[in-house]
């Protein structure tokens, strides 16, 4: 279709394949996987839908100009040559974010400043006035990406990172990023067809993302807004049509989603966030120590959690991770247990052999998402022990 255009969805390392799958399921065309990003094609309505629905995207940007550059003068000249009146006016505030992978350009703030000067000078030459910069809450956010000598200029359709879902008002120390939580759940194969447990739930992020996946609720339904709502060509009627259509695809969930945390403060925060996400009817949170619990129901149980790494709390890692393994062996037959950790040494003390290890990053920490399959009956448990 002639109205289709190319977009790029940015994501976390290791989530490229699942983001591409999400895009195909939404109906994107020409999906191509990059490093920490996936490019695709769609129309304006699809851009709205991608922002509302994608669980593993951090941002959706719309490339508008691409060129080769050798130095800062090239950058200024080519940014100046663009027809910025298509996107901005003198009354529009703007901000520029720059990402660099280049030997010739090493300071992102300098590149952003040079591009800002080019845009401001262009408006001043044409209108005698220039638009103002607003770093915190601009009308238009411009994204510059320089790879070696190639520069892409894009419009940021999302604004604040899409991990800001809008439901989380209360957090614990170092809470897990919502996009990371959703990605871990999708990597684990969570599809809402069994009971679910997060035995160390903290402020409830994994529980909430699990419920939204299970019920097919759009990831960003609780978000306050998107950057594209300030664009010149924003179509509010189309946006609301897309929003309503996405909501109508929600489904019922007949199983249980349960969270435990031994800290009363964490339980309170989790319950507040769950209520903010309008998911209280699907999620139960209890103040319990995982190491004294057993599986709460018959049938297969899907478990995903984010245990302390030692980065956040002063723990005896050998004893703590050993207790994870002992609890899974003794109390959780018929369970697929997944957890993420950056403490690769501590994994040796679980006392179980993981059936899968997936490299991911939790913020700057290289981590592993590991899977332990706990079989029904005690006979097979001895074969899992390492």
Which pLDDT score is estimated for 29?
96
Residue 312's DSSP bridge partners are none
- CA-derived radius of gyration, the chain: 23
Q: Within 10 Å of residue 3's Cβ, how many Cβ atoms?
A: 9
Closest CA to 341 of 304, 366, 374, 312: 366
**Rounded to an integer, what is the distance from CA 245 to the centroid of its chain?**
22
Task: Output phi, psi for 134, to 5 deg.
Answer: -135, 100
Confidence (pLDDT) at 369: 97
DSSP-assigned beta bridge partners for residue 337: 303, 372
**pLDDT score of 249:** 93
What was the pLDDT predicted at 254?
A: 93
- Of 256, 281, 259, nearest to 269 by C-alpha is 259
Q: What is the token pair recorded at 343? A: 């403490």
Strands 94-101 and 37-42: unpaired
Q: What is the pLDDT along the chain (386 residues), one digit of tens a residue?
A: 458 999 999 999 999 999 999 999 999 999 999 999 999 999 999 999 999 999 999 999 999 999 999 998 999 999 999 999 999 999 999 999 999 988 888 899 999 999 999 999 999 999 899 999 998 889 999 999 999 889 999 999 999 999 999 998 866 666 789 999 999 999 999 999 999 999 999 999 999 999 999 999 999 999 999 999 999 999 999 999 999 999 999 999 999 999 999 999 999 999 999 999 999 999 999 999 999 999 998 999 999 999 976 555 567 888 999 999 999 999 999 999 999 999 888 899 999 999 999 999 998 889 999 999 999 875 444 445 44
- Two structure tokens written together for 65: 């100009």
pLDDT at 383: 42
pTM, two decimal places: 0.92
Residues 6+ apart with CB under 8 A from 356: 369, 370, 371
Sheet of strand 195-198, all strands in order from the earlier edge strand to the far edge: 283-287, 257-261, 195-198, 301-305, 335-341, 365-374, 356-362
Closest residue by Cα to residue 63 from 81, 40, 80 = 40
User: Which tokens belong to 41?
Assistant: 């094609």
Integer CA distances (angstroms), 269 to 71, 159, 171, in order: 50, 26, 7
Q: Give the contacts of 360 (CB within 8 A, at least 6 positions apart).
A: 12, 13, 14, 15, 180, 183, 184, 187, 340, 367, 368, 369
Beta strand 140-147 with 94-101: parallel, antiparallel or unpaired?
parallel
- Give how far Cα 297 sits from Cα of 204, 257, 306, 375, Å: 21, 11, 22, 15
């Amino acid at each position: 279709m002639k109205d289709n255009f190319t977009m790029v969805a940015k994501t976390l390392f290791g989530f490229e394949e699942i983001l591409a799958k999400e895009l195909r399921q939404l109906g994107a065309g020409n999906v191509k996987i990059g490093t920490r990003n996936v490019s695709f094609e769609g129309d304006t309505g699809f851009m709205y839908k991608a922002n509302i629905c994608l669980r593993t995207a951090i941002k959706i940007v719309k490339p508008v100009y691409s060129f080769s550059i050798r130095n800062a003068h090239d950058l200024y000249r080519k940014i100046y040559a663009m027809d910025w009146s298509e996107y901005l006016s003198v009354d529009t505030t703007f901000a520029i974010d720059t990402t660099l992978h280049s030997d010739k350009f090493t300071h992102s703030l300098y590149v952003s400043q040079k591009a800002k000067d080019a845009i401001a000078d262009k408006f001043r030459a044409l209108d005698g006035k220039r638009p103002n910069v607003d770093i915190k809450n601009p009308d238009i956010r411009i994204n510059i990406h320089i790879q070696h000598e190639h520069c892409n200029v894009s419009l940021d359709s999302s604004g604040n990172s899409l991990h800001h879902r809008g439901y989380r008002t209360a957090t614990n120390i170092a809470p897990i990023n919502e996009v990371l939580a959703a990605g871990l759940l999708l990597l684990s194969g969570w599809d809402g067809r069994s009971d679910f447990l997060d035995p160390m739930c903290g402020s409830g992020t994994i529980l909430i993302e699990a419920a939204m996946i299970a019920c097919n609720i759009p990831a960003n339904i609780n978000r306050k807004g998107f950057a594209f709502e300030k664009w010149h060509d924003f179509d509010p009627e189309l946006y609301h049509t897309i929003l309503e259509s996405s909501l109508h695809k929600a489904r019922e969930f007949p199983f249980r989603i349960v969270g435990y945390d031994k800290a009363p403060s964490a339980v309170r925060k989790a319950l507040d966030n769950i209520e903010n996400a309008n998911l209280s009817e699907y999620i139960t949170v209890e103040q319990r120590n995982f190491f004294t619990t057993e599986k709460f129901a018959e049938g297969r149980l899907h478990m995903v959690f984010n245990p302390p790494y030692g980065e956040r709390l002063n723990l005896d890692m050998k004893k703590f991770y050993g207790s994870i393994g002992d609890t899974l062996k003794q109390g959780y037959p018929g369970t697929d247990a997944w957890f993420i950790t950056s403490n690769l040494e501590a994994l040796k003390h679980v006392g179980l052999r993981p059936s899968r290890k997936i490299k991911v990053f939790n913020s700057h920490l290289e981590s592993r998402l590991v899977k332990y399959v706990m079989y029904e009956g005690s006979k097979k448990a001895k074969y899992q022990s390492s």
